[in-house]
Structure 1
């Protein structure tokens, strides 16, 4: 396939991704398309960068705001596509100019290159708008445990020597130890996506405290947050086995912990006293790991839920004033790099007014 054709397909996927109308099937197609070759992934990342560039072209964002209006008769409001649809008009033409520009053009990069720290080795460190950023690192040591953390607003990709990749979502802490007979990860808090290279002689084990996850080779998302009482596991490819940690089993629990097998498309929720498995929910599985690419998607969720999720990536927290505004239900797709555009879209689509102060952002219902 020609480079131009790949570029054209990348533009299509990025446009759909930000349209607010992408389906679960399309997200699965996008994931498969990106894995075809390094060229596919490279063009996709470059097109995302082009999309971000278009957002900087609007020096007066209030001109690009659509008057507030309800788009459906129900209590659900649609946001995200307002700003995204405007950008979609120019993203493809700009893409052609972007790729015809010599590499390293400072007008497109917008940041000053810095010398990478010596430990750990930095492959790329992309600092973007507001708090959100994506960084990539390599870890190649064997028989030595190393703690990895991601700051608030950071998504961190770690490449292991065996070819596996671990992506840390915002405010996540985990420990990695690659041994001769086992690859062990201890997830202390947060959320991580695992793309595990197959190695039958070295099982990949994740200790989340109450649960032990075992896998040989697959892709799956694990979520363990302090504000949630459950552990969530969503499988994109392959299968994983999940069982209660025997060391955490109390004396009152006489039965042997059973293994729960999750296949591709399955989501498991594991609490202290209960377990719930949703099978063949491919669309939801794809949604659970969209954060890896800086994409935030929500569908018919309350404003309270959306703000709680957004605040995970922000140091300047958002607060909702008034209980009635909490119940507003909205849907949309955003790129987390464009934090200010998210606020503009909320204000332009919902009956709310946003007040920005030095340390906080307040949402008032009108």
Structure 2
């Protein structure tokens, strides 16, 4: 069959099947036979894989559902039950396969009434969120937006984004990045993420930054020209002042500015744009300093040119990643 030949009923059946497989594959008791059956179903038609991927995105959104309070009951021998969280997510996957605004979870503040997904691959991309907020996405970046009854929620899945948030005190704007989050009502700020590292630069307004979902309070407040950074395991973000020559937003003009940085500090900024991350052999190599202005679309060529401008040479590790090694200093001849 072809996509053009599908009836509305057939489309609905595929959506229902995608929701079913999404729930089963996330269940603890999913068997190897079921996984093989899913693979056969997914590969049977391109639309199957497309609908299943859409369900996975919905599953991510539903993962933020609040957990119901457990009911205390007399202890009896019973078959192990699916955890409440999984049941809640499963219910929301089914519900989100229907018109979002009609589901009662909206009134409870559990589910969004709109959902958007954006990616930027080979060029910087500007998008408008459902609430009117503007977002610029750097190369290789991805985020989702969900509009709830009591808040607006963004998940930065990877990369970097500059936000110009529409002011709305009744619906805080929350950006989840890594293990932490940034909470605002209306402002302009930049969020950079690479692996488990996150950096937030505030341009205008104020934001509250927390480095962990379980942290107490709303987080630390930033004022304009301040920066917060955190990584996995940090209980509180590190706060610093940005100087007048801060170049963290140069990507919006297609540039990466390295201002006399140690290679160990420059590599996370460079690797954000590389298909294979560049590594350093040791602390001595990491201490070598690098500067310059580079086109973010041409950073692959930077790796090959580094031995021409720095005292380093390239090797490959067992995973095939390029590794920078410092060039041994020759002893002067006597």
Using the size of structure 1 for normalisation, the TM-score is 0.48
How far apart, in 1, do the equivalents of 2:240 and 2:296 lie?
28
Tell me the CA shift for residue 290 of structure 1.
Answer: 2.0
1:147 to 108, 117, 123: 117
How far apart, in 2, do the equivalents of 1:297 and 1:365 lie?
22
Moved over 6 A (4+): none
For 1:330, the equivalent position in structure 2 comes to 290
The answer to whether the 8 Å contact 1:154/1:313 transfers is no
Tell me the CA shift for residue 262 of structure 1.
Answer: 1.0
More moved, 262-271 vs 339-348: 339-348
2:238 to 276, 281, 285: 276
How far apart, in 1, do the equivalents of 2:277 and 2:209 lie?
35
Q: How does 1:112-127 map to 2 (within 5 A)?
A: none
Tell me the CA shift for residue 355 of structure 1.
Answer: 8.0
For 2:167, the equivalent position in structure 1 comes to 198
Change (3 A) 1:324 1:268: closer
Using the size of structure 2 for normalisation, the TM-score is 0.51
Give aligned pairs, total: 213
The answer to whether the 8 Å contact 1:316/1:360 transfers is yes
Change (3 A) 1:362 1:186: closer
How far apart, in 1, do the equivalents of 2:171 and 2:310 lie?
52
Change (3 A) 1:177 1:329: same
What's the RMSD between the two structures over aligned residues? 3.7
Matched, 1:242 2:209: yes
Can you give the 5+ residue segments of structure 2 that lack an aligned partner in the other structure?
A: 1-100, 102-111, 328-334
Change (3 A) 1:321 1:279: closer
Change (3 A) 1:332 1:179: same
Tell me the CA shift for residue 323 of structure 1.
Answer: 6.3
For 1:185, the equivalent position in structure 2 comes to 154
For 2:222, the equivalent position in structure 1 comes to 262
Tell me the CA shift for residue 148 of structure 1.
Answer: 3.2
Q: How does 1:5-20 map to 2 (within 5 A)?
A: none
Change (3 A) 1:259 1:297: same
User: Partner of 1:310: helix, strand, or coil?
Assistant: helix
The answer to whether the 8 Å contact 1:267/1:281 transfers is no
How far apart, in 2, do the equivalents of 1:266 and 1:318 lie?
29
Change (3 A) 1:211 1:328: closer
How far apart, in 1, do the equivalents of 2:230 and 2:326 lie?
36
1:164 to 121, 133, 136: 133
The answer to whether the 8 Å contact 2:274/2:300 transfers is no
Change (3 A) 1:147 1:360: same
User: Partner of 2:114: helix, strand, or coil?
Assistant: coil
User: Partner of 1:198: helix, strand, or coil?
Assistant: coil
User: Partner of 1:337: helix, strand, or coil?
Assistant: helix
User: Partner of 1:292: helix, strand, or coil?
Assistant: helix
How far apart, in 2, do the equivalents of 1:324 and 1:214 lie?
39
Tell me the CA shift for residue 172 of structure 1.
Answer: 3.8
Which structure would you say has the larger Rg?
2
Change (3 A) 1:273 1:215: closer
Change (3 A) 1:362 1:219: same
Tell me the CA shift for residue 180 of structure 1.
Answer: 6.2
Q: How does 1:30-45 map to 2 (within 5 A)?
A: none
How far apart, in 1, do the equivalents of 2:179 and 2:119 lie?
21
Matched, 1:315 2:281: no
How far apart, in 2, do the equivalents of 1:155 and 1:353 lie?
32
